[in-house]
Structure 1
């Protein structure tokens, strides 16, 4: 199947066994494929950098929570709402904005979203009150879903022979952006205060919008004649039609709840006595997380070889195990580093495996599968943020680690119960 035809098929919801495009549509698709550009490595790198910058915007706040609590007079038990609101709005953006890529010109959609993101970041940076800050963060979260539009666009521009490799590059940008956001935020916080983080990000986002406007190909595949509401309904219909999506979305909820439990509350024990680390030092733990996450890149290849369930089980066991050394964070930074590496390795391995198994089921609906799956990722992140800060206020770091271990144990149990009842990919 050629690129244009693949992208057009992705826009058309169909029932299992339903008819494909009509002959006239196929002729039009073939004509489009002749002029479809190939994706150069330099362009793939730009996609990866853009994704990293966009997704980092919703994670900068994690190592800054203590400073934000002081700035706006928010108690530690409530400051996790900063992350929760951002993630909830990210989930709304996944549902309401990502499907627009199947209706509108993606190049224009990406540029407009980046420009609006730059404006929202300025609101956050200059916010004089907690209410305006929260409003700005909500907009930042919703507009950060441009990341998923970029991934889908990169996949549609790549040739079939290199599509998986290109998506892997772009996804690596997402992972690095998530984890290094903490390092960048910590350094900027110590150099010029927390507001500088969002001022600099706004400028970088604006520059990236201008670069993409100049360099993105004007080509975009023919869009399906669907209404916006029809497209949204098709996302929900996929949950009824695809069992593996339901199972893997639930696993995404659990693993990213655990992920957010660690990273949201970690700033509190590290910044408090006896450790009293600087924000730069706290943010540096993102480097350890990046090492663990990048080591999980092989998980997708294992899933392609039919080892997705085994990979998931091992990764979830490591996720549960990671909370043991993490619990000694106050007494040993080396133990914390081991726990962080294990946790991010496990989370990323399950995440990559989830996506590989989901995409193998319904290749013609990948963008909508992504939206549905990532909604649960975002809800899990929001749940982990608010629960971890509340638990830390009542039970300290030990309570946070017990909460993370409990969620990880539930995830492992859920996988064991569903591994033979819909958790396997189907051949296409």
Structure 2
């Protein structure tokens, strides 16, 4: 992999690395029931590890990802992956639930390699292919998310939840070796201090309305998505279904359509523009929660809703990323920090809100709450996007709110 070029094989390798690392954040979701049984605690309390992992991820995005604009990127990616390996091992060996909670936070904090690889790929990609490259790598991320849920649910039911964390730690160990051999050295242009680097984040938030709007859209979109995936575990483990973790994990495969759609969305962002894609994604998310509300005992309705909410979110996210990576090339890591920190704070909030709505009013109240999240995003998008006569294309990637 050359430092200033990006071949198709390079993109696929980066995509695989991103998917395998980001899986660390999602292994826990189908394991909530097993963990609750192991530590003899309510399932709603065990569900806290899901949003603790996401809070840790948000902290890693905020505090560690900006370093990609100031230090050698390959070294940072490898160090973070080593940290993830150690954190996963701690989770597997956790003697008590509070240790598992701490380990979950550390897993999220250290599993940020995907968000270091994405700006690197955007830097190496040509302007006309950037959306396509982002879409391909996001496809790998989605496969990692889907596989993590399905594998952890299925294998966890057979071997136990601890073995899933051991398996993930082993995967990270292998990745460290291949990253060291394959990734190029990539030195950033920022020459200031860490304090100046972090201060620049606030400057960009204040002065870049397109970045603010993209971050808000993803905050709300990922909040709705995360709320669904955590609450779905409780929904499917309760009557009338009463499914075990192995069966629940298989529902993650229903989101495979979003993995297939991601490269297509990326190419569409290159050729057709991003704003139309965002509206399509928002409508799909809203329809998904209507479908969830009327699911009842119909698994086909649930699967349809999963496809809609997953594809809708990925359509929004890839479009948002195409926008922010096209603004200031020299600050891509910092833009990605703002964007993804907002995204995973949204995910943590959504997970907590989803469990709270479930405890208050069950599945129907959760579905209403999820639809409300999407409606807020729709209203803000409508108010923040001015009418303009210009045709969608490269220009609308950097519109101001």
Query: Could you tell me the TM-score, scaled by structure 1's length?
Result: 0.86
Contact 2:12 2:136 in 1 (8 A): yes
Q: 1:299 aligns with which of 238, 255, 265?
A: 265
In 2, Cα distance between the equivalents of 1:424 and 1:156? 20
After superposing the two structures, state which structure 1 stretch, 262-271 or 309-318, moved more: 309-318
- Identify if the C-alpha distance between structure 1 residues 135 and 311 changes in structure 2 by more than 3 Å, giving closer, same or farther: same
Q: 1:148 aligns with which of 96, 109, 115?
A: 115
Q: Does 1:426 align with 2:363?
A: no
Alignment-derived partner of residue 368 in structure 1? 334
Cα offset for 1:316? 1.0
Contact 1:297 1:349 in 2 (8 A): no
The 5 A counterparts of 1:168-183 are: 168-183=135-150
The 5 A counterparts of 1:253-332 are: 253-305=219-271, 307-332=273-298
In 2, Cα distance between the equivalents of 1:302 and 1:36? 27
Alignment-derived partner of residue 357 in structure 1? 323
In 1, Cα distance between the equivalents of 2:309 and 2:215? 19
Q: Does 1:250 align with 2:216?
A: yes
Q: 2:56 aligns with which of 77, 89, 92?
A: 89
In 1, Cα distance between the equivalents of 2:231 and 2:94? 23
Cα offset for 1:51? 0.8
Structure number with bigger Rg: 1
The 5 A counterparts of 1:57-68 are: 57-68=24-35
**DSSP 3-state at the match of 2:398:** coil
**DSSP 3-state at the match of 1:255:** helix
Contact 1:186 1:280 in 2 (8 A): yes
Contact 2:68 2:188 in 1 (8 A): no
Cα offset for 1:259? 0.2
Equivalenced residues, count = 394
Alignment-derived partner of residue 379 in structure 2? 413
Aligned residues: CA RMSD: 2.4
In 1, Cα distance between the equivalents of 2:198 and 2:285? 34
Q: Does 1:186 align with 2:158?
A: no
In 1, Cα distance between the equivalents of 2:131 and 2:349? 31
In 2, Cα distance between the equivalents of 1:121 and 1:113? 12
Contact 1:261 1:388 in 2 (8 A): yes
| Gap regions ≥5 residues in structure 2 | 389-394
Cα offset for 1:160? 5.8
Alignment-derived partner of residue 139 in structure 1? 106
The 5 A counterparts of 1:36-75 are: 36=3, 38-75=5-42
**DSSP 3-state at the match of 1:177:** helix
Cα offset for 1:319? 1.0
**DSSP 3-state at the match of 1:57:** helix
Alignment-derived partner of residue 172 in structure 2? 205
Cα offset for 1:110? 1.4
- Identify if the C-alpha distance between structure 1 residues 364 and 208 changes in structure 2 by more than 3 Å, giving closer, same or farther: same
Give a deviation string over 1:76-109, Cα, whole Å, max 9, x none. 4433321221111111111111111122222221
Q: Does 1:230 align with 2:202?
A: no
Contact 2:219 2:345 in 1 (8 A): yes
- Identify if the C-alpha distance between structure 1 residues 202 and 421 changes in structure 2 by more than 3 Å, giving closer, same or farther: farther
Alignment-derived partner of residue 391 in structure 2? none
In 2, Cα distance between the equivalents of 1:244 and 1:152? 17
In 2, Cα distance between the equivalents of 1:278 and 1:48? 31
Cα offset for 1:385? 0.7
- Identify if the C-alpha distance between structure 1 residues 63 and 303 changes in structure 2 by more than 3 Å, giving closer, same or farther: same
Alignment-derived partner of residue 12 in structure 1? none
Alignment-derived partner of residue 341 in structure 1? 307
In 1, Cα distance between the equivalents of 2:26 and 2:123? 28
After superposing the two structures, state which structure 1 stretch, 116-125 or 102-111, moved more: 102-111
Cα offset for 1:162? 5.2
In 1, Cα distance between the equivalents of 2:117 and 2:323? 21
After superposing the two structures, state which structure 1 stretch, 304-313 or 62-71, moved more: 304-313
In 2, Cα distance between the equivalents of 1:222 and 1:404? 40
Cα offset for 1:427? 7.5
In 1, Cα distance between the equivalents of 2:328 and 2:126? 19
